């Protein structure tokens, strides 16, 4: 009788969405794998896959849900679906209206439906402003 390694079992089990507790499916895109909630369509990325997909044309297609809006005065505390550490609320420095959660342990990133798609559509004004801002530094 062969024993199964509990670590192998954990890695193959689908993650649970940190916002609505539904199951998350693995979605392949551009050589990466992202977990997407079956119900609310939130996305969970490894830090590396998030950075890579921000630079990959067409990757926003994985963000299939309608934009989720939550009250800004309400802090939603969620646990990382991968390592279960308390996630930290982050704000996109280029688009401060985009809030997402980041894990301080495994560096995973959770974005509500619509946030990744919106983050990829960074306004050209922000890009130009950043170019001039970097040139001003000595």
Q: What is the pLDDT of residues 51-69, one digit of tens each?
A: 999 889 989 999 998 876 6
Determine, yes or no, domain membership for 13. Answer: yes
- Residue 7 tokens read as 């670590």
Task: Count Cα neighbours of 84 within 13 Å in the Cβ-side half-sphere.
Answer: 3
pLDDT confidence band for 126 (50 / 70 / 90) = low
Q: Taking Cα atoms as reference points, which of 59, 34, 64, 29 lies closest to residue 46?
A: 34
Determine, yes or no, domain membership for 1. Answer: no
Determine, yes or no, domain membership for 64. Answer: yes
pLDDT of res. 11: 53
Determine, yes or no, domain membership for 83. Answer: yes
Report the distance separating Cα 50 and Cα 111, nearest Å.
10
Q: Taking Cα atoms as reference points, which of 94, 95, 99, 96 lies closest to residue 112?
A: 99
Pairing verdict, β 109-111 and 43-45: antiparallel
pTM for this model (two decimals): 0.78
SS (H, E, C) 83-112: CCCECEEEECCCCCCCEEEECCCCCCEEEC
Q: Taking Cα atoms as reference points, which of 19, 51, 20, 22 lies closest to residue 34?
A: 51
What's the average model confidence in pLDDT over 100-115? 95
Q: Give the structural domain span for 65.
A: 6-136
Determine, yes or no, domain membership for 101. Answer: yes
pLDDT of res. 66: 83
Residue range 66-91, pLDDT digits in tens? 876 666 556 678 999 999 999 999 99
Determine, yes or no, domain membership for 47. Answer: yes
Determine, yes or no, domain membership for 90. Answer: yes
Domain count of the fold of the chain: 1
């Amino acid at each position: 009788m062969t024993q199964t390694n509990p670590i192998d079992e954990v890695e193959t089990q689908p993650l649970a969405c940190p916002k609505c507790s539904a199951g998350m499916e693995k979605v392949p895109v551009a050589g990466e794998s992202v977990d997407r909630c079956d119900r609310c369509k939130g996305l969970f990325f490894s830090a590396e896959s998030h950075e890579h997909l921000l630079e990959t044309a067409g990757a926003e297609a994985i963000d299939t849900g309608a934009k989720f809006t939550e009250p800004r005065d309400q802090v939603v505390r969620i646990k990382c679906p991968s390592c279960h550490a308390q996630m930290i609320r982050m704000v996109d420095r280029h688009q401060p209206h985009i809030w997402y959660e980041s894990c301080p342990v495994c560096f995973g990133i959770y974005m509500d439906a619509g946030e990744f798609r919106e983050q990829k559509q960074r306004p050209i004004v922000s890009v130009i402003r950043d170019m001039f801002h970097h040139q001003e530094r000595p």
